[in-house]
């Protein structure tokens, strides 16, 4: 059976600071395995905490008492948090067998991301975390890149169900990505036309040639967002980045925003 595979190379994940958000890492690792890409998890140190050590008379509440804020103690805490992040990363991702790498960094540099990479953004479970400078900067940096972007809610669990794609036709890079995952995971493919009355007959034919069961559905579009019918739920939602004109919406389903810089002929047959 032929299998489409777009030319993705790596998934770049900034690891969360809250252990409750690591449930999503297993979902991310499974997708990395389906795409056949490396998964790189980076634990980014909170530089705001480092800056506190330069302020006079700063104290912290530790072990039931107020104590001077110690740079040495902070360094130990950061090292401990990094080791815990690595443990949780390997625990949640290792069972899916993608090639894993762990990194420790003082900042996330989106300039290292390439067109063929996928930048992963986990939406924190905590509203406080979602409002932090670090998270908003992470989202902004991802959208300044030319990479594809995977948006995953922190409460995501391994879902079953079809692969969904909002597509403008066979040359849409999101179509190739959706076909790749549907073929690898042996899931159905649901095609949603990005414009009314758009014919997707050629996409349906490509899916049949790849051994993928495909069907069409409709969605309501409004001001850069769309509403899926309640009956349409799936394992992964694929959209071209050019269709997302405003700040992203984190749907219940993990969402891959496929870079328009990926050429249409990136889908190959194996």
Per-residue model confidence as pLDDT tens digits over 188-225:
999 988 887 788 999 999 899 989 999 988 776 666 56
Q: Domains of the chain (ranges plus CATH)?
A: 10-50+75-153 (3.40.50.620), 163-266 (3.40.50)
Per residue, the 3-state secondary structure of 38-95, as one string, reads EEEEEEECCHHHHHHCCCCCCEEEECCEEEECCHHHHHHHHHHHHHHHHHHHHHHHHH
Mean pLDDT value across residues 45-52: 60
Q: Which of 131-135, 147-151, 182-186, 251-255 has the lowest mean pLDDT?
A: 131-135
Least Cα distance to 29 among 113, 118, 132, 131 occurs for: 118
DSSP state letter for 165? E
Q: What is the per-residue pLDDT for 268?
A: 40
- The most distant pair of C-alpha atoms in the chain lies apart, rounded to whole Å, by 69
Least Cα distance to 159 among 236, 103, 72, 230 occurs for: 236
Q: 31 near 181, Cβ under 8 Å?
A: yes
Q: What is the per-residue pLDDT for 108?
A: 60
Share of the chain above pLDDT 90, in %: 23
- pTM value surpassing 0.85: no
Q: What is the per-residue pLDDT for 247?
A: 57
Per-residue model confidence as pLDDT tens digits over 148-165:
999 998 877 766 789 999
Query: Phi/psi zone of residue 224: left (φ > 0), alpha (ψ -120 to 50 degrees), beta?
Result: left
Q: Is the pLDDT of residue 50 over 90?
A: no
Q: What is the per-residue pLDDT for 257?
A: 92
Q: 248 pLDDT band (50/70/90 cuts)?
A: low
Q: What is the per-residue pLDDT for 264?
A: 46
Q: Is the pLDDT of residue 4 over 60?
A: no
Give the CA dihedral 158, 126, 112, 142, nearest 10 degrees. 90
Q: 1 pLDDT band (50/70/90 cuts)?
A: very low
Question: How many CB atoms within 10 Å of residue 115?
Answer: 17
């Amino acid at each position: 059976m032929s299998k489409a595979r777009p030319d993705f190379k790596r998934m770049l994940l900034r690891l969360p600071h809250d252990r409750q958000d690591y449930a999503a890492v297993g979902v991310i690792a499974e997708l990395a395995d389906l795409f056949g890409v490396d998964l790189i998890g980076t634990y980014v140190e909170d530089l705001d905490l480092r800056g506190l050590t330069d302020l006079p008379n700063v104290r912290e509440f530790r072990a039931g008492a107020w104590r001077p804020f110690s740079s040495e103690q902070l360094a130990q805490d950061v090292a401990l948090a990094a080791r815990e992040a690595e443990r949780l990363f390997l625990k949640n991702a290792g069972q899916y067998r993608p090639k894993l790498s762990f990194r420790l960094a003082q900042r996330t540099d989106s300039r290292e991301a390439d067109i063929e990479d996928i930048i992963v953004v986990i939406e924190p479970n905590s509203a406080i975390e979602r409002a932090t400078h670090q998270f908003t900067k992470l989202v902004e940096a991802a959208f300044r890149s030319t990479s594809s972007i995977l948006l995953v809610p922190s409460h995501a669990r391994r879902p079953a169900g079809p692969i969904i794609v909002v597509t403008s036709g066979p040359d849409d890079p999101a179509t190739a990505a959706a076909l790749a995952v549907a073929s690898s995971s042996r899931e159905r493919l649901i095609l949603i036309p990005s414009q009314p009355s758009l014919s997707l007959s050629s996409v349906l034919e490509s899916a049949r040639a790849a051994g993928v069961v495909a069907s069409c559905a409709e969605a309501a579009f409004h001001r850069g967002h769309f509403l899926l019918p309640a009956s349409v739920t799936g394992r992964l939602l694929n959209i071209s980045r050019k269709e997302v004109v405003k700040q992203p919406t984190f749907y219940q389903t993990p969402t891959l925003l496929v870079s328009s810089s990926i050429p249409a002929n990136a889908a190959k047959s194996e």
